[in-house]
C-alpha cells in the first residue's frame, strides 16, 4: 500500500515545498497530541521552526490548514490485485480501508470529527469522502466488474447502491459508534452482507 510521507524539515532556511512539508508535519503532530480545539497556528509555526506569518500566508485559517493536513496525509488505497474471487478481493480492500483509518492522519481525522463543531465537521467529512470513500467506490466497482467477467458476480451488480454499501458501513460505524473494524467484523460484513448481494 502506498502512503504519503512528509520528510523531516532540514535545519536552516527553507522555502517552497520543503517549508510546506515541515508545516504540514508540525500540524499533524499537533493534531495527534493536543487535538483540534487546542491546535494553534502559533504552535504549528513553532513546531515547524518558522514564523507564524509563513503559515498564514499559505493557509489563512486553522480549518484550511487542518483540511490540507488530513487530505495530504491520508494514505492512498492503491490497487487491489486479482486474488481469484470477489470475496477475497473485497476483503483485501476492506482491510486496506481500515488501515487507512488507523494511519496517523486517519486517527487525527476521526479525533477532529469528534471535537469540532458541526460547521467544520461537514468540511472534514468531505476529506474522508474524497480521500477514502470515493476511491473505495471506484475500486469496488472495478472489483465487481472483474467478478462479473469471472462469472462469480451477477451481471447487474455494478450498481451505485451496491458500491455504496461498504463505504457507508465504514462511515456509519466510525461516526455513530466510534468503533474499530476488527478482522472478524470485516469478514462478517463481506460474508453476510456484501457477497450475498453479489451472487449470481
Q: With a cut of 60, say whether residue 5 has pLDDT above it.
A: no
**Confidence class of residue 69 from pLDDT cuts 50, 70 and 90?**
very high
Between 113-122, 155-164, 170-179, 181-190, the lowest mean confidence (pLDDT) is in 170-179
CB 43 within 8 Å of CB 34: yes
pLDDT of 180: 81
Q: What pTM did the predictor assign?
A: 0.81
State the average pLDDT for the chain. Answer: 88
Residue scoring higher pLDDT (118 or 169): 169
Q: With a cut of 80, say whether residue 8 has pLDDT above it.
A: no
pLDDT of 10: 42
Q: In which residue ranges of the chain is CATH 1.10.10.60 found? A: 16-72
d(CA 104, CA 157) in angstroms, rounded, equals 34
d(CA 100, CA 73) in angstroms, rounded, equals 10
Q: With a cut of 60, say whether residue 7 has pLDDT above it.
A: no
The predicted-structure confidence for 9-66, as pLDDT tens digits, reads as follows 444 566 789 999 999 999 999 998 899 999 999 999 999 999 999 999 999 999 999 9
pLDDT of 147: 95
**In a 10 Å sphere around its CB, with 0-12 CB exposed, 13-18 middle and 19+ buried, how is residue 30 labelled?**
buried
Question: Is the CATH code 3.30.420.40 the one for domain 79-198?
Answer: no
Which of 78, 128, 83 is closest to 101 using CA atoms?
128
Structurally, what CATH architecture does the domain formed by 16-72 represent? Orthogonal Bundle (1.10)
Q: In which residue ranges of the chain is CATH 1.10.357.10 found? A: 79-198
pLDDT of 13: 62
Amino acid at each position: 500500500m502506498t502512503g504519503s510521507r512528509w520528510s523531516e524539515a532540514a535545519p536552516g532556511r527553507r522555502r517552497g515545498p520543503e517549508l510546506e512539508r515541515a508545516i504540514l508535519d508540525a500540524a499533524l503532530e499537533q493534531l495527534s497530541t493536543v487535538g483540534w480545539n487546542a491546535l494553534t497556528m502559533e504552535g504549528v509555526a513553532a513546531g515547524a521552526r518558522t514564523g507564524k506569518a509563513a503559515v498564514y500566508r499559505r493557509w489563512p485559517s486553522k480549518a484550511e490548514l487542518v483540511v490540507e493536513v488530513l487530505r495530504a496525509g491520508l494514505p492512498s488505497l492503491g490497487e487491489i490485485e486479482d486474488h481469484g474471487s470477489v470475496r477475497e478481493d473485497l476483503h483485501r480492500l476492506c482491510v486496506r480501508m481500515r488501515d487507512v483509518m488507523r494511519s496517523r492522519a486517519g486517527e487525527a481525522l476521526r479525533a477532529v470529527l469528534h471535537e469540532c463543531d458541526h460547521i467544520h465537521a461537514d468540511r472534514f467529512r468531505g476529506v474522508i469522502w474524497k480521500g477514502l470513500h470515493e476511491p473505495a467506490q471506484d475500486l469496488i466497482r472495478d472489483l465487481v466488474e472483474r467478478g462479473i467477467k469471472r462469472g462469480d458476480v451477477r451481471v447487474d451488480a455494478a450498481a451505485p447502491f451496491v458500491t455504496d454499501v461498504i463505504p457507508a458501513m465504514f462511515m456509519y460505524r466510525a461516526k455513530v459508534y466510534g468503533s474499530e473494524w476488527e478482522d472478524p467484523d470485516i469478514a462478517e460484513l463481506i460474508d453476510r452482507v456484501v457477497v450475498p448481494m453479489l451472487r449470481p
